[in-house]
């Protein structure tokens, strides 16, 4: 099986994880095992890597990629939102670092039949975990016009959200929308011609919005950060790569709240609320890809890495 996924900001992640040979590390978005293969190389036989992914193809690909290191690896097919449950099941009391590479993987985009890409005609699916009962087809055909407009506006930051939702609803009254290209054509009709000529593919933002809704991508970020911080040992690092402004904002704000949890009015001379600092932010500004990386992997253009350390 050819699971092609280029690891983004690889050197920067490995450097910022501050890997100790005998430490316990979690790769919450295993993908093809690119980041993980570099983490395990720095672990001795007392170290452990826990790799989590909800995509069964990713688990298979990572098992192949990590051959020779499997004695210090535990691979779990799950969603990183269930981090606490995964660690409890493995009887892990503390970890020394966690990496999350958010969003859709190159492999999932390139595998046309998964329905993630607006460039390939395929059934409307977009599920990162094929056990998920909700797919893009249900959202497009069953959500109300108001719900569709809301998710396209909020998750896609699409200014034509209302028009797109209205065109989708009109079309599905005639026939069910079953494929990615049917949806692309509807979106193109909804967006005025002049607006279609600016800012990339006209379907990009709507597809992003539907994918986020299918996989509940935004809700799970903050709860996972809280669970990770609970398990991080002092000095342990949390590294998160985001690919769009919504994800980045959630990570930035969560890190800030955990660094400065005080909610007392500014005029209070001392803190009365009892908020305790849990994280120290390491990256004041996010780390972005170098020109060299962008030449090799154009998908890294929007990637941002934020890092914080448990105090």
pLDDT digits (tens, 9 = 90+) for 270-307: 888 888 999 999 999 999 999 999 999 888 999 999 99
Q: Could you tell me which CATH class the domain 118-215 is placed in? A: mainly alpha
| Whether the predicted pLDDT of 169 surpasses 70 | yes
As a whole number of angstroms, the distance between CA 311 and CA 308 comes to 9
- The pLDDT mean for the chain works out to 94
What per-residue confidence (pLDDT) applies to 15? 98
| Whether the predicted pLDDT of 95 surpasses 90 | yes
What per-residue confidence (pLDDT) applies to 5? 59
Evaluate whether 10-103+218-310 and 118-215 have a shared fold. Answer: no
Min mean pLDDT across 28-42, 57-71, 105-119, 254-268 is at 105-119
Q: What is the mean pLDDT of residues 45-60?
A: 95
Q: What is the mean pLDDT of residues 180-190?
A: 98
As a whole number of angstroms, the distance between CA 129 and CA 78 comes to 9
| Whether the predicted pLDDT of 133 surpasses 70 | yes
pLDDT tens, residue by residue, 213-265 = 999 999 999 999 999 999 999 999 999 999 999 999 999 999 999 999 988 99
| Whether the predicted pLDDT of 103 surpasses 80 | no
Helix (H) / strand (E) element for 172: namely helix 161-174
The more confidently predicted of residues 197 and 284 is: 284
| Whether the predicted pLDDT of 67 surpasses 70 | yes
What per-residue confidence (pLDDT) applies to 199? 78
Indicate the pLDDT class of residue 107, thresholds 50, 70 and 90. confident
Give me the residue spans of the domains in the chain.
10-103+218-310, 118-215
| Whether the predicted pLDDT of 152 surpasses 70 | yes
Homologous superfamily, domain 10-103+218-310: Vaccinia Virus protein VP39 (3.40.50.150)
What is the DSSP track for 106-174? HHHHH-GGG---SSS--BS---SSTT-S--HHHHHHHS-HHHHHHHHHHHH--TTHHHHHHHHHHHHHH
As a whole number of angstroms, the distance between CA 107 and CA 117 comes to 11
């Amino acid at each position: 099986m050819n699971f092609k996924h280029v690891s983004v900001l690889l050197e920067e992640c490995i450097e910022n994880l501050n890997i100790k040979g005998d430490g316990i590390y979690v790769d919450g978005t295993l993908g093809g095992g690119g980041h993980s293969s570099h983490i395990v190389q720095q672990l001795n036989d007392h170290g452990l890597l826990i790799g989590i992914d909800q995509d069964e193809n990713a688990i298979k690909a990572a098992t192949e990629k990590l051959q020779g290191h499997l004695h210090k690896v535990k691979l779990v097919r799950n969603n990183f939102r269930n981090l606490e449950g995964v660690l409890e099941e493995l009887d892990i009391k503390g970890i020394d670092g966690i990496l999350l590479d958010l969003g859709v993987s190159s492999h999932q985009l390139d595998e046309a039949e998964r329905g993630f890409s607006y460039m390939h005609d395929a059934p409307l699916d977009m599920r990162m975990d094929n056990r998920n009962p909700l797919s893009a087809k249900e959202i497009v055909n069953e959500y109300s016009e108001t719900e569709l407009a809301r998710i396209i506006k909020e998750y896609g930051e699409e200014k034509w959200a209302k028009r797109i939702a209205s065109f989708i609803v009109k079309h599905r009254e005639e026939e069910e929308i079953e494929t990615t290209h049917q949806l692309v054509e509807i979106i193109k009709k909804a967006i005025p011609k002049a607006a279609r000529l600016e800012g990339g593919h006209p379907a990009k933002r709507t597809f992003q919005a539907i994918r986020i809704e299918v996989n509940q991508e935004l809700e799970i970020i903050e709860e996972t950060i809280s669970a990770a911080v609970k398990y991080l040992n002092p000095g342990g690092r949390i590294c998160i790569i985001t690919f769009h402004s919504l994800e980045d904002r959630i990570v930035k704000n969560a890190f800030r709240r955990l660094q400065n949890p005080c909610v007392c009015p500014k005029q209070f001379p001392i803190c009365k609320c009892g908020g305790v600092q849990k994280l120290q932010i390491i990256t004041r500004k996010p780390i972005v890809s170098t020109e060299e990386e962008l030449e090799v992997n154009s998908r890294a253009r929007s990637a941002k890495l934020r890092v914080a350390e448990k105090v």
